[in-house]
Structures are given as C-alpha cells and as structure tokens.
Chain A
Amino acid sequence: MTAQTTDIHIIAKLSAIAIVLHTAEFFLPSPIFGLKPGIANIVVLFTYYYFNVRSAAYVSLIRVFISSLILGTFLTPTFFLSFSGAIFSLGCLAIASYCLKSKYFSIYSFSMIMSLGHIVGQFVCVRLFIIQDNGVFFLLPIFIIFAFIFAVINAYIVDKILRVAKSHIKNDKIYP
C-alpha cells in the first residue's frame, strides 16, 4: 500500500469513529434542545492534528451526512443544524490554522475556536431558516458557556490521545 492509501484508510476509520460517536451522542439526554457535548469533534480535532484541515473537513462532513442517514434526520432541521455548525466550525479551523502559529496557540485554542464556530453556525442557521426571531440569540450565553466547557474537555482528551499516538508512531511532526 502506498502512503496515500494508508492515509485514506485512516481517514475512513476516523470517520467511522466520528459517526459512532455522533450517533451515540444523539441518544444522550440534554436539558435544552441542541445542547450536546460534541464528542465527535474530538475525532475532527484529532484528524486536524494528525493530517491537516482538508482531512478534518472530510471526517467532519462524512460524519454529518452518514450519521444523519443512520439516524433518519437527513434533510431535516437537525441535519441542517449540524451541517451549518460543521461548516462554520471547519471554516474557523481553516482560518485559525492559516493565521495562528502553533508556536503560540495550543490545541485548547483550536478547540475553543471550533466550538465557538459551531455555535455561531448553528445560531445563524436557526435564525435564518428555522426560527425567524431575534429571541433565539438570548439562548446564546448558555450555549457559549457549555461550548467553552466542552471545548476544554475535548481538547484535553485529544491532547492525551495525540501524546499516545505520538509515542506509537514515533513521528515528531504530528504533535509538538
């Protein structure tokens, strides 16, 4: 196998894990509609550090499409919510990876930027297509607080995983 096919294999495997996590998360109870820890983002963040933004985008979008098919929410509001969240969060990640040097910004920054992008994307989608009322923005503080908490937790987990991965692969390039 060439190096490229190995990469594709890994991306496929990561996508599979992301789909499983996303599907599992769907069944978690949540006090407010749409308030979820976003554990699938662990995989996306890992992919970003392991490969690059492009691979992270593959994993994220494959996850959104396939898990919505599995859950039967394809083309429903739930799907568009997670889709717009994923797009915004990937956009933020791309901009961040372009602008922010990893010398100064650690995984926590990227995780927080991604989760904030996710929230903003979902709110924009909700405001534009689902609930056309400015009232939705009054839920924003609650979502930002939880986004912050889960971003830090997710980043911590990814950090641990990457350290293990680094010692296994013996590749210094993937994680500082």
Chain B
Amino acid sequence: MFKVFKVGDFLILAIFSVILFISLSIYLNLPSGDILKIDYQNQTIKYSLNQNKKIDLENLSIEINMGKARIRHSNCKNQYCVMQGWISHINQSIICVPNLFKMTISQNMDAHDSTNY
C-alpha cells in the first residue's frame, strides 16, 4: 500500500486534513445552548433546556435533560433521529424527515454573563 503513494498524495492528504481540522475546531468550539426550538406541523415551539421534561407530540416524543435533548421515540421507519442521541451545542439539530420534524438548539437572546443589582 505504501509503495503506491506519491508526492501529490501527501498534498491531497494535507488539504484534506486542513479541511477536517477547520471543521472539527468549529465543531468542538461550539458553545452549549439553552433553548430548544422545535419546528413541527407548521409550528415553532421553544423550550428551555435547563429542565427535565418529556414532551409527547403526535408521532414522536422528545426528552430534555439538563442542557441536552434527544428524540426518545419516533414512529418512523429507520429511526435515524432516535439513533442520533443527545444534542447540546448551539445549532445542533435532529431532523426526522418522514415526520417533517426538526429540532434545533439555540442560544437565548437574553443570555448574559452576569447580573447587576
């Protein structure tokens, strides 16, 4: 296998790695969010992530557990959305295409670092 490698391959590999590192560093530096936005049946509902809650919708049930969220059950065929597990970072989302369902984590617009009193 190593004999086949040529000079240019390392160049391609390097470019590949750079793209990977950039996307990874963006991915790893994501701040955690505090709002779960659910788009379902032409409605947008927002939930706070700082709670323990189970939400039952028509075809799916969602669970929020202290800063992270997941789809617990879904009646879709492939169960991809359930397999995605927990999400907690800003802009992470779980999509269930058969149910036309999307949930995204975002940051509260009122977020602040400290409170003056």
Contact = CB atoms under 8 A, between A and B. Distances in A.
Contacts of A106: 4-6, 8-9
Contacts of B92: 135, 138
Interface string A59-85: 000000000000000000100000000
Tell me which of A135, A145, A148 has the highest count of chain B C-beta atoms within 10 A of its own C-beta: A135
A134 B104 CA distance: 11
Contacts of A159: 1, 4
Interface in B15-31: 16, 19-20, 23-24, 26-27, 30
Given A32-B84, A131-B102, A109 B9 contact: yes
Tell me which of B5, B6, B92, B104 has the highest count of chain A C-beta atoms within 10 A of its own C-beta: B6
B80 interface: yes
Task: Kindly state the interface size class of chain A when it binds its partner.
Answer: 20 to 34
Interface in A84-130: 100-101, 103-109, 112-113, 116, 130
A2 to B, nearest CB: 34
B13 interface: yes
B93 interface: yes
Contacts of B83: 31-32
B8 A100 contact: yes
A154 B24 CA distance: 24
Interface residues of B, number: 30
B8 A133 contact: no
B7 A141 contact: no
A156 B7 CA distance: 17
A32 B27 CA distance: 17
A127 to B, nearest CB: 12
Nearest to B39: A133
Interface of A: 31-33, 77, 100-101, 103-109, 112-113, 116, 130-131, 133-138, 140-141, 144-145, 148, 156, 159
Interface of B: 1, 4-9, 11-13, 16, 19-20, 23-24, 26-27, 30, 78, 80, 83-84, 89, 91-93, 95, 97, 102, 104
